[in-house]
Chains A and B, each alone.
Chain A
Amino acid sequence: MIGGHTIDSIRSGLLAKEFSAEELTREVLAFAEAENPKTNAYLTLAPERALAAARTVDAKIAAGIEPGLLAGVPIGVKDVIVTHGLRTTCGSRMLASYIPPYDATAVIRMEQAGGIILGKTNCDEFAMGSSNENSAFGPVRNPVALDRVPGGSSGGSAAVVAQGTATLSLGSDTGGSIRQPASFCGVVGVTPTYGRVSRYGLTAFASSLDHIGPFSRTVRDSARLLQVIAGRDEMDSTSASTPVPDYVAALDRNVRGKKIGLPKQYFEGLASEIGDLILGAVDVLQRLGCEVREVDLPHTPYAVACYYVIATAEASSNLARYDGVRYTARASSSATLAEMYRVTRAEGFGAECKRRIMLGTYVLSAGYYDAYYLKAQKVRALVARDYARAFEQVDAILGPVSPHPAFKLGQMVDDPVAMYLSDIYTITGDLAGVPCMSVPCGRTGEGLPVGLQIFTRHFNETEMFRIADTYERAAAS
């Protein structure tokens, strides 16, 4: 049963010779081939690369060499993360045939650890969206309810794990793009501390906010995957040299005396069904010895406005490189260089990308910089200070991931402001750069998954995983 596998069950199966990495890879590839049309979660499967990696793992095991922490584990990689020789589209027409000449650092580290990259997962164009409906290659359907969105922008990465067509996946998070789809699809999704994972090879959207992070079915597996991909990389000067602990070894299921904060701003006006599930999870942790108190994150109501200035400003600059010269797509006919730029970009970008490029260009343009961009950077400092103050009182902050569960395809596409506002609970974490994650905490009356969000201090993923793992075990029993 492919969907039931974890990193540990694959490792023990391989070492006990119950199956080889090649057999497992073939089985998962066939399963993905058969199941993918239901969800459109994979854009590209990579059987040759996957089987070659699997044979390397098998050869190591046969030779008695340690095969690595992710030995034989099938992994999906969000299509904004580059893979050498394997098409990387960013969900955009602009890059529909782009074949990267190098691998992202996170990809290299996973393969060095014996991980098997099965393919590239669908996403909102250049990671801009909250529903995966902005992909040029069609939306992803939520495996839990096929008429609903999987969330976004890492919708495909959440869906492959939920569907069982991968055991792990990589996503990217700029304003909630890992945690929100994890919540919608009922899987674990982690946004590590800013700088914890190298972004070398992550197609830049908003560089001061972009993160790479794991998806998995269990907290333990995300902890293991983060351990593999985290750490200093000289190819990314924003990657931190803070040592990477053994996150899995620290999962001792002891949360006695831990102080948990509930931000009052996260529960005001929250749908009672979601609120009840979150408070139910808090209750479980309280019974295991956590102390719960209210905390104040007073600038939360300003986070969405702040984010959509900063993120679009950075995006307008980062996406300027797609001009018809270097990256595959070029306007079919254009007499001058200037016209070629303008028409290439008009043809290559979808509506949401254009909207964000325009907004970002506007807020950076002469006369508006101070009023918008500088103002937003100051408000960002206030949001970060909210967290710093709260973490003087508590070890972790808990709350909802999203104000609602997965919505129906098409339900929100015509209202960008409403779509943006639904990111309210995730955006603050990215602005402050603190580690945060979504762990499943039950389902609504309609059977839709809901995620519990956990935030901890910078570089304290250990505490975040400990609380999440403890809750997950308690909730399962």
Chain B
Amino acid sequence: MKISEEEIRRVAELANLALTDNEVAQMARDLSGILTHVDKLNELDTAGVEPMAQVLVSTEEAADGIANLREDRERRPLRNHDALANAPLAGSGYFKVPKVIER
């Protein structure tokens, strides 16, 4: 599977990743190489195979799917100050970002 530079630019948009022209060219080569190997999966006939999204833990809980949830009770959340402590920019108890709406 070959992937074009144009496609790389489209995927980079989806991934919110700014890439330089050099990175785009390198990424096209690397991803083409990896996807060529991934094409190997098409050798297998998977008709009728259920997709495996998660390792199934074969206990009774997994069967009803509910018992593994914790009890629904009030708990103390992270304090506002702690939640904001790692923000690059914060103020008045909020995360701050560049202006989104023009006046």
Known: A302-B41, A432-B55. A335 touches B98 (CB 8 A): yes
Residue picked from B8, B71, B87, most chain A C-beta under 10 Å: B87
A145: Cβ under 8 A from any B Cβ: no
Closest CB of chain B to A418's CB: distance in Å? 10
Q: How far is the CA of A262 from the CA of B95 in the complex (A)?
A: 55
Classify chain A's interface size: 35 or more
- Complex alpha-carbon distance, A337 and B39, angstroms: 37
Verify A305–B15 contact, CB threshold 8 A.
no
Instruction: Tell me the bound Cα distance from A234 to B98 in angstroms.
Output: 37
Interface of B is mostly: loop
Query: Given A305-B37, A330-B89, A342-B17, is A362 in contact with B11 using a C-beta cutoff of 8 Å?
Result: yes
Indicate if A359 sits at the interface (CB-CB under 8 A).
yes
Residues of B near A335 (CB, < 8 A) are: 98
Contact mask A314-334 → B, CB, 8 Å, 1/0? Answer: 001000100111111110001
Q: Which of A9-17, A18-26, A350-358, A396-404 contacts B (4 or more CB under 8 A)?
A: A350-358
Q: In the complex, what distance in Å separates the CA atom of A19 from the CA atom of B87?
A: 43
Interface of A is mostly: helix
User: How many Å from the CB of B59 to the closest CB on chain A?
Assistant: 6
Query: Is A144 part of the contact surface with B, judged by Cβ < 8 Å?
Result: no
CA distance A340 to B31 in the complex (A): 25
A241 in contact with B11 given A324-B88, A378-B52, A417-B33 (CB within 8 Å) = no
Q: For residue A362, which residues in chain B have a CB less than 8 angstroms away from its CB?
A: 3, 7, 11, 31, 35
Q: Which residues of chain B (8-45) have a CB below 8 Å from chain A?
A: 8, 11-12, 14-19, 23, 27, 30-31, 33-35, 37-44
For the complex with contacts A309-B38, A362-B3, A381-B51, 5 further pairs of A-B residues with Cβ separation under 8 Å are A234-B71, A335-B98, A358-B12, A384-B55, A458-B57
Q: Which residues of A contact B (CB under 8 A)?
A: 98-99, 101-102, 194-195, 208, 234-235, 237-238, 240-242, 299, 301-302, 304-306, 308-309, 316, 320, 323-330, 334-343, 345-346, 349, 354-355, 357-359, 361-362, 365, 372, 374-382, 384, 416-417, 420-421, 432-433, 458
Could you write out 5 A-B pairs with CB less than 8 Å apart?
Answer: A99-B86, A208-B53, A358-B11, A359-B31, A380-B52
